[in-house]
A and B are shown apart, each in its own frame.
Chain A
């Protein structure tokens, strides 16, 4: 059973556009929600993360929006650049164990020049 559901599977955006990736979860014990960026042949790298006590977090061109009641969170990439072309994974970690991170299935983003 997929603990974190991610969509879309792939996304094509024009340079300068906004990329939006969505994730949903069911486990209310989740209380830490990171996003990872992965380039081919590399391990995932932490991009930005949020805890449920805030509804939005922004770091540069990257913003996480969090809706606790809907159990959904999303990544917005503003002014998307070709260098942003990568696979993005959302993840969630529960407070009751704090040991295991559950990952979404990933979104392959292509930014067209």
Chain B
């Protein structure tokens, strides 16, 4: 399978704990995006990388969230001191170039108890 892969698929954590998610984009795609999706809503933009550079970050994104993309390959999204409001599906997507379609992974579903 050469699509976008995300790990883990599900994560249950207690409030206050830190969690980290991984995304492996399609290999030739240099653009990588993180989105968050809550029930009944469309994906909401979190952040975007072009190669290893994080070029854009949502103003709505708490400073508890941090993302990295070392060497321009896989990416990680870390949430520190999780809160119940962080419960959502976290989607990773990649694209080949400017204004080309996003290819999404199947997401990581986070539940904060």
- Residues on B with beta carbons closer than 8 Å to the beta carbon of A91: 42
Query: Are the C-beta atoms of A46 and B56 separated by less than 8 Å?
Result: no
Query: Are the C-beta atoms of B55 and A99 separated by less than 8 Å?
Result: yes
- Return the CB mask of B41-57 against A: 1 if under 8 Å, else 0: 11111001000000110
A17 sits at the interface (CB 8 A): no
Report, as a range, how many residues of chain B touch the other chain.
20 to 34
Query: Are the C-beta atoms of B45 and A101 separated by less than 8 Å?
Result: yes
- Residues on B with beta carbons closer than 8 Å to the beta carbon of A100: 45, 48, 56
Q: Give the distance to chain A from B53, nearest Cβ to Cβ, in Å.
A: 12
Query: Are the C-beta atoms of A42 and B42 separated by less than 8 Å?
Result: no
Q: How far, in whole Å, are A12 and B65 apart by their CA atoms in the complex?
A: 39
- Return the CB mask of B31-70 against A: 1 if under 8 Å, else 0: 1010000001111110010000001100000000000000
Query: Are the C-beta atoms of B40 and A46 separated by less than 8 Å?
Result: no
**Could you list some 16 contacts between A and B, CB below 8 A?**
A6-B42, A32-B99, A42-B106, A44-B102, A45-B104, A46-B102, A89-B42, A91-B42, A97-B56, A98-B98, A99-B48, A101-B45, A102-B45, A103-B42, A105-B41, A106-B41
- Give residues in B with beta carbon < 8 Å to A: 4, 31, 33, 40-45, 48, 55-56, 91, 93, 98-99, 101-107
A43 sits at the interface (CB 8 A): yes
A49 sits at the interface (CB 8 A): yes
Chain A interface residue count, CB cutoff 8 Å, equals: 27
- Return the CB mask of A64-100 against B: 1 if under 8 Å, else 0: 0000000000000000000000000101010101111
Q: How far, in whole Å, are A42 and B105 apart by their CA atoms in the complex?
A: 8
With known contacts A95-B99, A100-B48, A105–B56 Cβ distance under 8 A: no
Q: How far, in whole Å, are A92 and B93 apart by their CA atoms in the complex?
A: 15
Given contact pairs A45-B104, A99-B56, a sample of 17 additional A-B residue pairs in the complex whose CB atoms are under 8 Å apart: A42-B107, A43-B91, A43-B104, A43-B105, A43-B107, A44-B91, A46-B103, A89-B42, A91-B42, A93-B99, A98-B99, A101-B43, A101-B45, A103-B42, A104-B42, A105-B42, A106-B40
